[in-house]
Amino acid sequence: MSEAIKYQLKSKDFLQLADFSTGEIHYLLEVAQQLKAEQKQGIPHPYLTGKVLGMIFEKSSTRTRVSFEVGMLQLGGHAIFLSSKDIQLGRGESIADTAKVLSRYIDGIMIRAYSHESVEELAAHATVPVINGLTDLQHPAQVLADLLTILEHKGKLAGLKLCYIGDGNNNVAHSLIEGAVKVGMDINIASPPGYLPNGIITEKAIAAGKLSGATVTITNDPIRAIKNADVVVTDVWTSMGQEEEAAKRLKVFTPYQVNEELCQQANADFIFLHCLPAHRGEEVTTGIIDGPHSVVFDEAENRLHAQKAILKLLLAE
């Protein structure tokens, strides 16, 4: 690791990108790039030898579980899978007591939960770093990986235009709004009426954008949103916990499908992102997600490298 990499984040936790400065986000990305390069070159980087990460899962996962567990292993540490069904948290123990007990055993906690408030409460009572692996409101680890992917493929972040089409009241959309403005990237969100992003998150992002020179545009018109976009992003129309709304959502969101015709409005060299899992034929056509503009598997890999940067900077002494 470069001698320059000695900076510490001001926050002990990683809960949402709005908590971090532009410089801190760029620093996280720099560390992620260096750790990725070291791995590709076969250079060991056991910065977390002897450290243990507890991973609490209220929601099932592929990428989050595997990337955090493998990341800890590659950094020389260890990860413990803690299903909410198997620990006392799932049997009525308070979040505060769980946080205090786990803090006596382990060096950090990653939690993938339904309620963002639960993650904030866990962090408030834990004396070790808490990492948000996903909540219904935010998905900051995913978006840090998205920013890393965009940087790799575009060579920059500031001045680009990112377009998100689909459910704006979505954890990925919220974290994209926060992350984009921090790095000077314009962001357009196109969503149906009734599915717009959280108003408080949007207002704060607009204010942050005034400092970075980035704009936030919320619209119901996907054609307007995607016009001249450098990056196009979507997510599933029905997330975990919304299964009863699936039929309604399918009808509402059909005009917001990311397809070949719509993407003709984007820049010719646009890249397509999706956090996965994807429903081909619903939010995106096969021709787009499996086509030449798609970088979704680079994006999925970068979950590992971005999260290793988070782990190193929060857990290393």
The pLDDT tens digits for 111-134 are 999 999 999 999 999 999 999 999
Whether 163 is catalytic: no
pLDDT digits (tens, 9 = 90+) for 233-292: 999 998 877 788 889 999 999 999 999 999 999 999 999 999 999 999 999 999 999 999
142 is in an annotated binding site: yes
215 is in an annotated binding site: no
Any idea which of 54-58, 64-68, 207-211, 237-241 has the lowest mean pLDDT? 237-241
Whether 303 is catalytic: yes
**pLDDT mean over 297-313:** 98
What confidence score (pLDDT) does residue 294 get?
98
pLDDT digits (tens, 9 = 90+) for 179-215: 999 999 999 999 999 999 999 999 999 999 999 999 9
On average, the pLDDT of the chain sits at: 95
Give Cβ neighbours of residue 34 (< 8 Å, ≥ 6 apart): 1, 2, 5
**pLDDT mean over 172-177:** 98
pLDDT digits (tens, 9 = 90+) for 12-27: 999 999 999 999 999 9
Query: Rounded distance, CA 239 to CA 264, Å?
Result: 28
What confidence score (pLDDT) does residue 2 get?
43
116 is in an annotated binding site: no
Q: Exactly one of 116, 274, 293, 303 is catalytic; which is it?
A: 303
pLDDT for residue 1 is more than 70: no
Whether 235 is catalytic: yes
pLDDT for residue 4 is more than 70: no
What confidence score (pLDDT) does residue 244 get?
83
Whether 257 is catalytic: no
pLDDT for residue 3 is more than 50: no
Whether 167 is catalytic: no
Query: Rounded distance, CA 102 to CA 133, Å?
Result: 17
What confidence score (pLDDT) does residue 112 get?
96
Closest CA to 176 of 124, 123, 228, 214: 214
What are the C-alpha distances in Å from 6 to residues 9, 121, 139?
10, 29, 26
What confidence score (pLDDT) does residue 238 get?
87
Helix boundaries (H) for 2-132: 22-40, 63-74, 95-105, 116-125
What confidence score (pLDDT) does residue 6 get?
52
pLDDT for residue 82 is more than 50: yes
29 is in an annotated binding site: no
5 falls in which pLDDT band (50, 70, 90)?
very low
240 is in an annotated binding site: yes
What confidence score (pLDDT) does residue 162 get?
98
What confidence score (pLDDT) does residue 136 get?
95
Helix boundaries (H) for 75-182: 95-105, 116-125, 140-154, 171-182
**pLDDT mean over 161-189:** 98
219 is in an annotated binding site: no
Give Cβ neighbours of residue 99 (< 8 Å, ≥ 6 apart): 109, 121, 122, 123, 124, 125, 126, 130
Whether 224 is catalytic: no
62 is in an annotated binding site: yes
pLDDT for residue 10 is more than 90: no
Q: Exactly one of 16, 136, 139, 305 is catalytic; which is it?
A: 139
What confidence score (pLDDT) does residue 90 get?
64
228 is in an annotated binding site: no
Q: Exactly one of 16, 112, 249, 307 is catalytic; which is it?
A: 112
Is residue 219 within 8 A of residue 190, CB to CB? The reply is: yes
Q: Exactly one of 142, 174, 249, 263 is catalytic; which is it?
A: 142
